[in-house]
Amino acid sequence: MTLDQGSKQWCRTSILAAMQPMVYPFSPWRGMLFLLGSLVFVAGGIWMFTSSSSFMDRAAGVASVAFFGIGVVKFTGQLLRRPALLTLSADGISQPGMPSVGWSDIDHVRIVEAGASGHFYIDIVLRHPQAYFDRITGPRAQLAKANQAFGLGPAVISNVVMGKKWPLPRIIDDMRQFHPALQVHP
């Protein structure tokens, strides 16, 4: 018995719909380390501000408290909520705070190194990137624009965020479980 093209598509769609989403959870240990590091820098900033009469030391102390204080709030919230870092499903890719990306919206993916920092990203190259940009709001919109300065698109997955537990090539292999026709470019 042979299946016509419509039946093959129905079978593939039914199998994907039955697949459970693949969730990459937030690591509480990693969150605690980032929270501890942020707290140390906040304490150092307070010490710099209170123990020095130099304007530059006091300004650095204020900057340290402001920047790492945001980290304290962020990592405390993550430890309490424990959001998924990434979710792959039959519908596409979801990341916290970012619009989801449907498989049909993706032209291809590629792993790239951005800058001299040694950070690697899965750059999700979209068919219509401006439509995605238009759906991003708040500070994430600024981050997406900063990604462009590194030659990336608005939708990326960072090795820093994912950690060593989920290497980027493995994530691409997982993506292909949901979208076998996914194109991967060097």
In the predicted structure, residue 21 carries a pLDDT above the cut 60: yes
Angle between helices 28-51 and 55-81 (to 10 degrees): 160
- Which SS3 state, helix, strand or coil, does residue 126 take? strand
Yes or no: say if 132 and 99 are a contact pair by the CB < 8 Å rule: yes
Residue 90 pLDDT class (50, 70, 90 cuts)? very high
Q: Which two tokens stand for residue 85?
A: 């870092």
pTM of the predicted model as reported, rounded to 2 decimal places:
0.65
In the predicted structure, residue 142 carries a pLDDT above the cut 70: yes
Residue 178 pLDDT class (50, 70, 90 cuts)? very high
Q: What's the confidence (pLDDT) of residue 11?
A: 43
Q: Give the neighbor-by-neighbor strand order of the sheet with 106-114.
A: 155-158, 119-126, 106-114, 184-185
Residue 115 pLDDT class (50, 70, 90 cuts)? low
Rounded to 5°, the CA angle 68-74-77 comes to: 140
Which residue type is seen at 65?
V
In the predicted structure, residue 13 carries a pLDDT above the cut 60: no
Q: What's the confidence (pLDDT) of residue 55?
A: 92
Q: Which residues of 66-80 are buried (b: 16+ CB within 10 A; e: fewer)?
A: eebbebbeebeebee
- Rounded mean pLDDT of the chain? 82
Yes or no: say if 151 and 114 are a contact pair by the CB < 8 Å rule: yes
Percent of the chain with pLDDT over 90: 32
In the predicted structure, residue 98 carries a pLDDT above the cut 80: yes
> Can you tell me the mean pLDDT for 11-38?
72
In whole angstroms, what is the distance from residue 166 CA to residue 23 CA?
Answer: 11
Looking up tokens 């792993």 gives: 111
